[in-house]
């Protein structure tokens, strides 16, 4: 399968968004492998997450094609939207699992436990719904930092990959990650106290 240049993906997204029916097949060829790679990274990090990578990639693709009306500007925007979609799928999955487990409770965690590795593991010991709640607060204060966290947690991108996707320097991404991690840690601690 051939690799697609970032400019080619951006152009395909723009053509597809403006209604060019012929660009959809080329777009699928370009982005489905990316979604599959993101899904594999997500599934590989979790023994608790019961969706298969193919199911997660398919669901992400189906939700992504619903975004035709988005004003596609860049490959980075694609990764940000894909991270948001994967976040929603993962959270929907955990909400569903929580509703099945009668009376089951997630354990609370701290952001430092999550940040021990470059990409946190997704398992039932983490209250991902609380993380989502804290992330919603961060989105209100600083959408750029919230997108960084979303790309890291829900797309499994490393700091280097996030820098490449967003056009930022690695030092900027690392600095933003440190700030976002501290912000989330403080807000998760507040949620644990409530």
Q: What is the DSSP string of 66-124?
A: TTTTS----HHHHHHHHHHHHHHHHHHHHHHHHHHSTT--PPP--HHHHTTSSS----T
- State how far the Cα of 138 lies from the Cα of 146, in Å rounded to an integer: 6
pLDDT of residue 4: 52
pLDDT of residue 171: 95
The reply to whether 1 falls in a domain is no
- The total number of structural domains that make up the chain: 1
Q: Is the pTM of this model over 0.85?
A: no
91 neighbors 128 (Cβ within 8 angstroms): yes
- State how far the Cα of 183 lies from the Cα of 139, in Å rounded to an integer: 11
Collect the ranges in the chain with pLDDT lower than 70.
1-6, 45-50, 68, 97-126, 191-194
The reply to whether 58 falls in a domain is yes
The reply to whether 56 falls in a domain is yes
The reply to whether 186 falls in a domain is yes
The reply to whether 18 falls in a domain is yes
pLDDT of residue 9: 77
pLDDT of residue 172: 95
pLDDT 10s digits, 103-139: 444 444 444 444 444 444 444 455 777 788 888 899 9
pLDDT of residue 176: 94
Choose among 179, 190, 117, 191: nearest CA to 144. 179
Q: Show the domain range for 112.
A: 6-193
pLDDT of residue 81: 81
């Amino acid at each position: 399968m051939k690799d697609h240049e970032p400019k080619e993906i951006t152009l395909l997204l723009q053509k597809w968004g403006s209604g060019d029916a012929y660009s959809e097949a080329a777009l699928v060829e370009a982005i489905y492998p990316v979604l599959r790679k993101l899904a594999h990274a997500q599934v590989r990090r979790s023994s608790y997450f019961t969706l298969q990578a193919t199911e997660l990639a398919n669901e992400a693709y189906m939700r992504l094609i619903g975004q035709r009306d988005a004003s596609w500007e860049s490959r980075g925007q694609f990764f940000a939207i894909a991270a948001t979609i994967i976040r929603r799928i993962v959270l929907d999955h955990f909400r569903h699992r929580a509703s099945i487990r009668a009376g089951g409770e997630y354990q609370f965690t701290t952001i430092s436990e999550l940040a021990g590795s470059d990409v946190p593991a997704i398992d039932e010991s983490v209250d991902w719904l609380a993380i989502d709640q804290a992330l919603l607060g961060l989105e209100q204060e600083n959408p750029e930092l919230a997108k960084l966290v979303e790309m890291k947690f829900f797309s499994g991108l490393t700091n280097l990959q996030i820098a490449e996707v967003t056009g930022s320097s690695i030092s900027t991404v690392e600095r933003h990650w440190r700030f976002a991690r501290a912000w989330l840690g403080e807000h998760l601690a507040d949620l644990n106290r409530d």
